[in-house]
Structure 1
Amino acid sequence: MAEQEQEYIWHKIFDSEEEAIAQVPVRKLHRFELGGRAVCFAHTSLGFFAIDDACPHLGYSLSRGTTNYLNEVVCPWHSYRYNLSNARECDYRTHNANLHPVEIRNDGIFIGLKSLTPSS
């Protein structure tokens, strides 16, 4: 069986950082459908973050929640909190979330989603 190597497929979500800031102000969230996957895009005082939109607890949309001063996204259903720097559930009550890298490039803002491809 071939070993699996993780690579990212990069999805452009905004043409510039200014556009991202205008559409998703600090402490706000936005849902994107990228490659058939729902992603919650967060803008906090520490920057931009992307996490799977479904709360690992019961699957509710995290993008319908809020962010807090601790750089966490808070699920609106049962208030489970996920650290946006490492995707850990803050009270250890459920699984951690899936975090995705965000890159600010000259030509826009991109979110990377992992793809499994066989290595050579």
Structure 2
Amino acid sequence: MPSIRVFENTAQLHQAFAHKSIRLLRIGEKKVCLARHGQAFFAFEHLCPHQMHPLSEAQITAFGEVVCPLHAYRFHLQTGSEANQKCRDLKTFEVEIRQEGVFINLY
């Protein structure tokens, strides 16, 4: 699947996201979370790999981890790795910021 444009420009992106916020995006039939930590943006699958709880309800730590509210599993935003290796890693997707807009690669 090719890159999908999710925002027209970076101004829209920054306006839509406060620091340490997560939003659920629907891209065709797929749901993806998009999160901001500092000035960086990260995309990842919307359900926790442990028990399929929606990660759009999660919190982001100061260390760049998304924490599932159900059982506090922690996943690194950049790599998707689960901090304590209790379940499979979180699937992440590349976020590209280009002149033509903001894109997510759902490969």
Does 1:28 find its partner at 2:50?
A: no
- Asked if the contact 1:40/1:50 (under 8 Å) is kept, the reply is yes
Of the three residues 51, 54, 75, the one matched with 1:61 is 54
Residues 41-93 of structure 1 show CA distances to partners (whole Å, capped at 9, x for unaligned) of 01001500000011000001111111111111111111111101110011111
- Asked if the contact 1:46/1:71 (under 8 Å) is kept, the reply is no
Which ranges of structure 1 fall in alignment gaps of 5 or more residues? 1-7, 115-120
Which ranges of structure 2 fall in alignment gaps of 5 or more residues? none
Find the residue that maps to 1:100 and give its secondary structure: strand
CA distance in 1, matches of 2:11, 2:68: 27
The structure with the largest strand share of the pair is: 1
Does 1:72 find its partner at 2:65?
A: yes
Does 1:16 find its partner at 2:34?
A: no
Of the three residues 85, 88, 104, the one matched with 1:92 is 85
Report the count of equivalent residues.
Answer: 107
Q: Which residue is equivalent to 2:42?
A: 49
Identity across aligned pairs (percent)? 29
**Shift >2 Å, 4+ stretches:** none
Q: Which residue is equivalent to 1:5?
A: none
**Pair 1:63–1:110, CA change in 2 (3 A):** same
